Structure 1
């Protein structure tokens, strides 16, 4: 949840202690404009910046809206000093979030062309302090947020297995977690995937496998425990999504949706509609 404290921190970072640049009298209006096609996101966060500065957002598109060059994501009016002070922070947060949404949209569409039921999910590879903004951008574009923090699901990784053994690790964490919390087990091959499913994993994470290995692991998991979900992960690009979507996997998770999506090119213009 975005708070006033978040917005204040963003503005303090940008405005500093003695802003002469934006000390402009009078009233003005402005608009946040797309310079390339994409999917809008972070518009709520950009609006919150102007609201905090007592400028009025008069019009805005919903997050998840497809935009073309020249389209306005939001329009704002108010004291020139407030509008100009909020401009750069609003542009930065919306451009970043819209980049995340645009990449997510591309991945979701690539997956759906092969398998309409496969989910494309983000990961916890997010920018500290901006996870909420980035996860909302993923959701706005039709992606799955995955776990929002460590409390949402238990993840049994290779280090846990090395220390405790696969079965003991699953049992240990299941005893300590709520009945409503799933246990996911990370594996690196089809044989290990089958063992994890048989040991009681709710979700089997197929890490750094090729599409062929992923397909084999999906079959092994189904044979061991038909109720366990399968998730493919590990450096999967948008270009590779169709290959993984065709393996029968339930989820494709991609750190690149958040940690390396390029910002959508946006600009802020004041005055008329030119």
Structure 2
């Protein structure tokens, strides 16, 4: 069976509810109206999933800030009406998802702005460094923030990394095998010499792993001199953050992948108020 966001949302909610919300069970279950507001400037993400969490529990939801829109402190993102017990049992799950996804989208958007102002042709990519069980939502948040998806699962594309080479003993042999399987695959290298060799063997995507910006620029120049640059997409990865990303963008790589946007999430502060 394929992935079902709705089933995942139901699982998230059940995780929080356990055998029942015993506190909300003692209050009057009258119809109420609540609103979710943001406490800080952000790019909103996860609104459609928050709406689904409340809707599957008999609530009506009005979206005031769509995914991808910017929000300022105290602005209302969602208005919810329904039974008090339903709203209260959904509150934390909806807020948690909104907070995480908006944090990812906001961080991604900040990096995208820096990169695009320097080199419009360079794109930001997420990685597989996501919280177990949350990859779909993390990747969705990156897209909302203006980034792109790298591999979502190991089945998406062959990507030859250092440990594959360590097992097989030969990068050249792995490239040969990969070319038999697919026209699109990627090879990770950690030296300029290996980057040149991979490009000369027709590797379509090369990851320059933990290359300093100066080393990338030198590699790009070497590939150009050999007439190999136009035939390959170059990805910078490793140790890249908001402080140094502009230097990487100046190297004119095609892709910059950043694990921190999903594995070191700075959540956005939302609250639900009656």
Deviation at 1:153, TM superposition (A): 1.6
Alignment of 1:30-45 (within 5 A): 30-45=34-49
2:54 aligned to 50, 54, 69, which one?
Answer: 50
- Residue pairs, 1:72-83, within 5 angstroms: 72-83=76-87
Q: The residue matched to 1:70 in structure 2 has which SS? A: coil
Are residue 108 (structure 1) and residue 112 (structure 2) matched? Answer: yes
Structure 2 counterpart of 1:200:
202
* d(CA) in 1 for partners of 2:142, 2:44: 11
Q: Normalising by the residue count of structure 2, what TM-score does the alignment of the two structures yield?
A: 0.93
What is the rounded CA distance, in whole Å, between the counterparts of 1:200 and 1:265 in structure 2? 47
Matched with 1:124 is: 128
Give the structure 2 partner of residue 253 of structure 1. Answer: 257
Deviations 1:185-223 (A, max 9, x none): 101121111111111211010000111011112223343
Distance in 2 (alpha carbons) for counterparts of 1:97 and 1:59: 16
For residue 212 of structure 2, what is the aligned residue in structure 1?
Answer: 210
**2:179 aligned with 1:174:** yes
Match of 2:7 in 1: 5
C-alpha displacement of 1:251: 0.6
Match of 2:17 in 1: 15
1:98-139 per-position Cα deviation (integer Å, ceiling 9, x unaligned): 000010011001111211111011101111111111111111
Task: Provide the C-alpha distance between the structure 1 equivalents of 2:241 and 2:137, rounded to a whole number of angstroms.
Answer: 22
- CA separation in 1, counterparts of 2:114 and 2:97? 26
2:97 aligns to what SS in structure 1?
helix
Q: After TM superposition, what 4+ stretches of structure 1 lie above 4 angstroms from structure 2?
A: none
Compute the displacement of 1:4 (Å): 2.9
Cα 1:221–1:124 change in 2 (3 A) is: farther
Q: Which runs of 5+ in 1 are unaligned?
A: none
Q: How many residues are aligned here?
A: 267
Distance 1:220 1:160, change over 3 A: farther
Distance 2:67 2:222 in 1: 39
> What's the offset of the Cα at 1:2?
4.6
Preserved CA contact (<8 Å) 2:47 2:63? no
Contact 1:2–1:45 (8 Å) recurs in 2: no
Residues 121 and 144 in structure 1, CA contact (< 8 A), matched pair in contact too? yes
Over residues 28-61 of structure 1, what are the superposed CA-to-partner deviations in whole Å (9 max), with x where a residue is unaligned?
1111111010110111111111111111112242
Contact 1:45 1:133 in 2 (8 A): no
Match of 2:244 among 226, 237, 240: 240
Give TM-score, length-normalised by structure 1.
Answer: 0.93
